[in-house]
Amino acid sequence: MIKICKFGGSSVATADQFRKVKSIVESDPDRRFVVVSAVGRRFSGDNKITDLLLLVNAHVEYHVDCTSLLADIERRFVDIADELGVTWPVAERFETFAANIKKHSPEYVVSRGEWFTAHIMAEYLGLPFVDAADVIVFHHDGNVDMERTAARLRDFAHRNGAFVLPGFYGATVDGAIKLFQRGGGDITGAIAARCLDADVYENWTDVSGFLSADPRVIESPRSIRRITFDEMRELSYMGASVLQEEAIFPVREVNIPIKILNTNRPQDAGTTIRETAESDADEHLITGIAGRKDFLAVHVKKAHMSNEVGVISRALSIFERYGVSIEHIPTGVDSFGVVVAAADVKDKIYSIVNDVRREIKPDDIAMVDKLALISVVGRNMSRRSGTSGKIFGALGDAGINIRMITQSSEEISIIVGVDNTDFERAIKVIYERFVRNEMVSAERA
């Protein structure tokens, strides 16, 4: 069995965290391929190494001395290496890097967080180091050349049987360092899993997988043991994210499951993400609840709209003209709404509304602001009749006014819009009615 194990920055923030990683890797002989992010925060308010290197770039760009900043970064790496007894010459290599800081590209500078972390981890684990610049190949358009990347990774894995690979970066065919977007370590791990035909992609972080609700709103919410890729996308979109969303695509296409696991609690089951989740006796109606505040809806009403071609598309083109992303489009026979993030239209909403009036000529147009959207996600909801009505009924019984309703085409999520002031209470009502009650019933059984 092949397991690709990616350890995030929170998992390698201190020497003690490195020891936990070693214990996890050595506990399973199938964990031979390791991907690491740069050293993360040691405590609340601390800085990630990646953020410090971004700051180094800013200093260089504006001709501000960054000697002390580089010294702080070096000390973080040296302290970890010294405590672990690593002999790789961290200080010497870092001083060479720092001495040539103005000659390096910004992307090269930022990538060194992963590069130094992976070198330390490789010696500590006793595994070969492979530079991502040598195996992760980017086209010049920014997309990964999966064919060349797979060939290089497979060749290294075949010759060495194991590796530690820095995440977050690769290189173009001419050798220039190229970064993924933030969270790119997750993507690197997914690419490695796909290229090596892994049986599972383990993503180790500081949480034990997905939770069924935000713990800041619900005390001790139920953990999600199994979730589909579609459900994960729905919850992540609404903010319940423990994994970089783009990381699912390389493995989803070849049906490799992802396991979200906790470095600090390796005994926890975590969450398994796959294309379909096998059903069993303890299948839940609702997988999770997530939401966000501060949306704005523009409601347009126009008689006989259904007989007029292109009304909605013309309205959407207006929003597109102003560079505004559309969140949802609830529709009726003679009306529709356009829901957007309020921050995206802060300085242009009145111009947009005026353009809609002029170009669409609606009978009425109204705005609803301070709107919160709550997504109730569950692959089993479509199989059980009356779920939507029960959700709306529970909110109505609690005196919560529903401002908007929409459902995904896959029928795995129901989104309700409520006032910002009702956001937390609405989540609690839904959780208590559908999740907590189900848990209590299961315990009694």
pLDDT tens-place string over residues 194-230: 999 999 999 999 889 999 999 999 999 999 999 999 9
Name the CA radius of gyration of the chain, rounded.
25
Is residue 213 within 8 Å of residue 288, measured between CB atoms? yes
Query: For residue 246, what pLDDT is reported?
Result: 82
Q: Residue ranges of the chain with pLDDT lower than 70?
A: 278-282, 409-410, 440-445
- Tell me, letter by letter, the H, E, C secondary structure of 105-172: CHHHHHHHHHHHHHHHHHHHHCCCECCHHHHCEECCCCCECHHHHHHHHHHHHHHHCCEEEECCEEEE
Query: For residue 383, what pLDDT is reported?
Result: 78
Query: For residue 113, what pLDDT is reported?
Result: 98
CA-to-CA distance for 361 and 4, rounded, in angstroms?
A: 56
CB under 8 Å to 185, separation ≥6 — which residues? 6, 8, 9, 35, 36, 37, 114, 167, 168, 244
Helix H or strand E segment including 55: helix 49-61
Q: Which of 277, 149, 314, 293 is nearest to 216 (CA)?
A: 293
Write down the pTM of the prediction.
0.87
CA-to-CA distance for 185 and 176, rounded, in angstroms?
A: 18
Query: For residue 386, what pLDDT is reported?
Result: 84
3-state secondary structure of 207: coil
| Burial group, residue 289, by CB count within 10 angstroms (0-12, 13-18, 19+) | buried
Pull the structure tokens for residue 138: 């980017």
Query: For residue 168, what pLDDT is reported?
Result: 97
Query: For residue 233, what pLDDT is reported?
Result: 86
